[in-house]
Amino acid sequence: MEERFCRTAMLIGETGLARLRAARVAVFGIGGVGSFAAEALARAGVGRLVLVDNDAVAASNLNRQLVALQSTLGRSKAAVMKERIEDIQPAAEVEAIEDFFLPERAGLFFHGSFDYIVDAIDTVAGKIGLVLEAQKRGIPIVSSMGAGNKLDPTKFEVADIYETSVCPLARVMRRELKARGVAALQVVYSKEKPRKPLFVPQEERPASEGESFAKQPPGSISFVPSAVGLILAGVVVREIAGVSVE
């Protein structure tokens, strides 16, 4: 056994480790949540990873995203994450897809089979489309709900979407998935009430003072989306490895 995985094997056994090594997992969205999920999966020993994101690293990402460094500004998030994972686990097979998920182009993202999908997409339409595609193909999926405008990472938990409350994104997802006949979806969400941002960053302000903000980005901080990403990775690793917690 490789020394890098010996402590992991102490928890999940050599059989669990072998299952992870043989698994192929896709992470959609390599931002504050998805970057931590992807790296945790790689460090746990997942052998094949597909990383999907069309964004480039921006200065506003530096406060919370693993891919965001002064040296990576302007670069593709998916490409940077691929390099990080290959540096952590050189034997891993990592594919970076620099594109946004669109259901009508599902074939671009679903070539080959997946053992699990992590949904860390920001948009409702993207999340719904990904969930429907995964369920149509019989692929297990776990989805992140809202991590923005929150300060308490201890409030996050794993639940079925229809058992969630408080989270505005989860409320919208419940309604939309129910309308589409989706019976269940495993999610990570928080009952913490979203905070109202104390100000809008200068670069987000409209050109004319006094105008309403068409779209205000959520506030975010280093230790909340990261916690969500790690919880998502934990769900995937335990289920693929076939281990459970008491």
Residues 6+ apart with CB under 8 A from 196: 149
Q: What does the pLDDT average to over 200-204?
A: 65
* CA gap 20, 13 in Å, rounded: 11
Q: Are 129 and 102 in contact (CB under 8 A)?
A: yes
pLDDT (tens digit, 9 = 90+) per residue, 127-149?
Answer: 999 999 999 999 999 999 999 99
- Helix (H, G, I), strand (E, B), or coil: what is residue 52? strand
0.85 exceeded by pTM: yes
Q: Which amino acid is at 98?
A: E
Q: Could you tell me what percent of the chain has a pLDDT over 90?
A: 85
* CA gap 4, 195 in Å, rounded: 40
Q: Are 20 and 1 in contact (CB under 8 A)?
A: no
Under the banding of pLDDT at 50, 70 and 90, the label for residue 246 is confident
Domain residue spans of the chain: 3-199+215-241
Q: Which amino acid is at 127?
A: K
**Tokens in use for 143?**
């989805």
Lowest mean per-residue pLDDT among 66-70, 197-201, 240-244? 197-201
* CA gap 75, 85 in Å, rounded: 16
The pLDDT value given to residue 102? 86
* CA gap 56, 74 in Å, rounded: 5
Strand partners, 158: 188
The pLDDT value given to residue 169? 97
Mean pLDDT of the chain: 93
Q: What does the pLDDT average to over 152-161?
A: 98
Yes or no: domain 3-199+215-241 corresponds to CATH 3.30.565.10: no
Q: Are 149 and 218 in contact (CB under 8 A)?
A: yes
Strand partners, 56: 76
Strand partners, 52: 28, 97
Of residues 209 and 23, more confidently modeled: 23
